[in-house]
């Protein structure tokens, strides 16, 4: 039997991990926009705690693999010597506002597509279009110029990258490994304390499964791209779950199939839809739905465009930056996380005023 090619292995691993994400999201109703909405409108933080629990689990797994020498997180897009603070803040704010208008982030909309939501399908196509245009198209020119004007090269201040461990090491004189482990321990301890001090969260099996499950999927992504797909002759980018740029690449892949190759990110998009589809059928939740009226349509169009642009400018979404990126302990990811939440809060307030709630 011939050995499986790296491209095929990347496609299969991405499909499986993506399917796990879609099924988990569909089954547990995990939604980052919903987490912000629950907290702002009802002072209910269970889904926010599930989100943070996923971050803590992902940090433990990613840093353990880094410490063991299994992967090198400095090779990911999140840890580089170019610190795009402006993009993290502005892109995050735009993305957060947009995800409220579009009823959820790209990951949640992927799960909705699997459940038969045609509105989510339109949202995804627009995210892909605007994201790809900002990545490699006409608006990409503006993005590159903005990054050139605002990005800070950390090497100019003696730091290899903008990882929080690297920064602490530079300030305190601790070794980078020790400083990174210290930062990781503090983050994880603070998150676990915040999550598990709440009795209602401790009793919520659905939210516990969402947090532990999603964090585990992020770890699986790092392992797949950093260990399973490691090949000197056909190197693969080190990555885990993220959905804005992969959505754009998926759209291009579908349009140029005969001359294109699948990769891990594209496969996760297909997998997420497939996993959510199967889960919705099993649970009897599959139903074809669409926009309710013109205002609903325009609102989702605007939100999708904002997520496509904002997600690329910020280098990720609520999954890509706020969990996958956070597991690398990158300062840019922490800034993006905060900006997305703030943008989401402003989006919720705007939507409440617009709907007269």
pLDDT of residue 181: 97
Q: Coil, strand or helix: which one is 206?
A: helix
> pLDDT for 85-112, tens place per residue?
999 999 999 999 999 999 999 999 999 9
> pLDDT for 165-185, tens place per residue?
999 999 999 999 999 999 999
- Which residue(s) pair with 330 in the sheet? 163
- Helix residue ranges, H only, 137-263: 138-150, 164-172, 176-196, 199-202, 205-223, 244-255
Looking at residues 217-240, what average pLDDT do you find? 94
**For residue 236, is pLDDT > 60?**
yes
**For residue 1, is pLDDT > 50?**
no
Q: Which of 204, 240, 190 is nearest to 30 (CA)?
A: 204
**For residue 2, is pLDDT > 70?**
no
Average pLDDT, the chain: 95
pLDDT of residue 324: 98
Distances (CA, A) of 84 to 90, 193, 203, 309: 10, 31, 40, 15
CA angle 27, 32, 34 (to 5 degrees): 80
Instruction: Give the pTM.
Output: 0.96
Q: How many CA atoms lie within 13 A of 303 on its CB side?
A: 30
Q: Please name the residues in contact with 159: beta carbons below 8 A apart, sequence gap of 6 or more.
A: 81, 166, 167, 170
What letter would DSSP give residue 160? Answer: S
**For residue 40, is pLDDT > 60?**
yes
> pLDDT for 253-272, tens place per residue?
999 988 788 999 999 999 99
């Amino acid at each position: 039997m011939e050995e499986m090619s790296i491209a095929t292995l990347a496609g299969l691993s991405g499909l499986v991990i993506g399917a796990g994400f879609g099924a988990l999201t569909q089954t547990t109703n995990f939604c980052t926009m919903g987490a912000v909405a629950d907290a702002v409108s009802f002072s209910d933080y269970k889904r926010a705690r599930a989100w943070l629990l996923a971050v803590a689990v992902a940090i433990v797994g990613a840093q353990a693999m880094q410490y063991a020498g299994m992967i090198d997180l400095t090779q990911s897009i999140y840890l580089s010597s170019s610190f795009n603070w402006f993009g993290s803040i502005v892109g995050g704010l735009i993305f957060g506002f947009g995800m409220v208008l579009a009823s959820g982030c790209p990951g949640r909309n992927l799960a909705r597509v699997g459940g038969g939501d045609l509105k989510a399908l339109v949202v995804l196509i627009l995210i892909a279009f605007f994201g790809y245009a900002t990545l490699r198209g006409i608006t990409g020119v503006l993005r590159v110029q903005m990054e050139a004007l605002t990005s800070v090269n950390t090497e100019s201040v003696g730091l290899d990258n903008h990882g929080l461990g690297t920064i602490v090491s530079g300030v305190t004189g601790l070794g980078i490994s020790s400083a990174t482990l210290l930062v990781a321990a503090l983050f994880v301890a603070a998150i676990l304390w915040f999550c598990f001090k709440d009795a209602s969260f401790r009793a919520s099996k659905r939210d516990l499964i969402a947090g532990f499950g999603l964090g585990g999927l992020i770890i699986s992504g790092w392992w797949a791209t950093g260990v399973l797909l490691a090949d000197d002759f056909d190197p693969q980018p080190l990555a885990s779950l993220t959905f804005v740029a992969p959505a754009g690449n998926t759209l291009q892949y579908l349009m140029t199939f005969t001359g294109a190759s699948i990769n891990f990110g594209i496969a996760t998009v297909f997998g997420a839809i497939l996993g959510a589809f199967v889960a919705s059928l099993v649970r009897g939740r599959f139903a074809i739905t669409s926009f309710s009226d013109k205002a609903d349509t325009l609102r989702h169009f605007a939100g999708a465009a904002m997520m496509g642009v904002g997600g690329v400018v910020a280098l990720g979404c609520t999954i890509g930056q706020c969990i996958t990126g956070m597991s690398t302990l990158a300062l840019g990811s922490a800034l993006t996380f905060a900006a997305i939440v703030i943008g989401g809060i402003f989006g919720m307030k705007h939507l409440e005023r617009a709907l007269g709630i």
